[in-house]
Amino acid sequence: MLSIIFGLLLAACGGGEKGQTADSTATDTATEASNEEAPEETPKEEVYTVKGQVVRLPETGKNDLTVDHEEIPDFMEAMRMSLTLADSTEAKDLVVGDKISFEMVKGESGFLMRKIEKLPADTELKLPAMPEKK
């Protein structure tokens, strides 16, 4: 009687050699598919065109420019930020008070500033009121 029950259980579980081979092949194929590495997606840059005013130039040996910038709709309020220059030579002709347009690039390591262009001095900017330094 036990051998009959054992045989029925074995058959119900697919316990024969052919059943095991078919099941293990399917499992092996599924395992191989899940073990294959999906290609890593390169994080996409977020690029914003921004207007602002130069507040502080890079110090010697540094590569950051401080600006007061306008609001970036649906992303960031108007504020003062120190941004890393993608190319330090872009700041060589700038002076404090210059009004500029630039691209702010949000990447994995933070924000970069690139494609800086001087704007006419009479350009009106919507900048936040910043406290004066004492």
Longest pairwise C-alpha distance within the chain: 100
pLDDT given for residue 51 in this prediction: 98
> How many domains does the chain contain in total?
1
pTM over 0.75: no
Does any domain span residue 34? no
Query: Can you list the alpha helix ranges (DSSP code H) found in the chain?
Result: 2-12, 17-35
Residues 81, 110 contacting (CB under 8 angstroms): no
Does any domain span residue 134? no
CATH of the domain at 51: 2.40.50.320
Q: Which domain holds residue 87?
A: 46-118
pLDDT given for residue 35 in this prediction: 55
Confidence of residue 108 (pLDDT cuts 50, 70, 90): confident
Does any domain span residue 62? yes
pLDDT (mean) for 40-68:
89
Does any domain span residue 127? no
